[in-house]
Amino acid sequence: MSLFKQITEKPWERKGIIGGLKPEGTFKSPAERVALNFLLTAASIVFSLFGVSYYIRMELPDWLPIAEPTSLWFNTGLLVMSSVLFQWARNVVGNGGSKNVKIAFFGGGVFAILFIAAQLQTWEELQLAGVYLSSNPAADFYFLLTGLHAIHIAGGLYVWIKCVFRMVTGAEATEQRLSIELCTVYWHFLLVVWLVIFAVVANT
């Protein structure tokens, strides 16, 4: 193309281009990824507000720290395994493979379910020890934070079940690449949130 033509060219008149910009270049991320980013941002704000409230409330004289349930270590291990398996599935499908993807992805969800079951068991143990919701502010925040976290995991499991169903009914693992990736990112986020909650409860 000559210099004169480059200077006098009108890019907005090119076929398929509006205003000199390619429409598809405006948003490169799939809608699902954008939605997940909004969800993670909102969840981060909610958990952060509860964390700040936790530290402010514990300064008052009626705050009675609860003993850290030893089962929380086991529960944490379950959630770590869940996140590891999801990452394994993500790595395999991200490299264009499909071997063991279904096993890893399915296993990640199973460990998440076991985590919720273990959390329910921990809550029951606390109640047997006389620690109830509304028994004191520390117990209130413990049940509130861990319960809110469990609700977020349950929401993630809903998406996981839909993805597993598609795989079982014949969809190739590579076709579920985006779903696997988003589930993995969400689970890593929940793991980080849980580690923060665990650290706060263990040290207060």
The tokens describing 198, both together, are 């665990």
How confident is the model over 112-162, as pLDDT tens digits?
Answer: 999 999 999 999 988 888 888 777 888 888 899 999 999 999 999 999 999
pLDDT value, residue 191: 96
Distance CA(151)–CA(137), nearest Å, equals: 21
pLDDT value, residue 11: 42
**Looking at 11-15, 89-93, 186-190, which range is the least confident one?**
11-15
For the residues 55-60, what does the mean pLDDT come to? Answer: 87
Distance CA(65)–CA(55), nearest Å, equals: 12
pLDDT value, residue 204: 64
Task: Please report which confidence band the pLDDT of residue 6 belongs to, taking 50, 70 and 90 as the band edges.
Answer: very low
Nearest to 34, CA basis, from 188, 193, 185: 185
Nearest to 152, CA basis, from 125, 107, 191: 191
How confident is the model over 87-126, as pLDDT tens digits?
Answer: 999 998 888 777 788 899 999 999 999 999 999 999 998 8
pLDDT value, residue 200: 84
Fold of the 46-202 domain: Four Helix Bundle (Hemerythrin (Met), subunit A) (1.20.120)
Three-state DSSP state, 18: strand
Distance CA(46)–CA(197), nearest Å, equals: 13
pTM more than 0.85: no
Question: DSSP letters along 113-148, please?
Answer: HHHHHHHHHHHHHHHHTT--TTSSHHHHHHHHHHHH
pLDDT value, residue 19: 45
Helix intervals (H) in the chain: 3-8, 31-57, 71-94, 101-128, 137-168, 177-202
pLDDT value, residue 138: 86
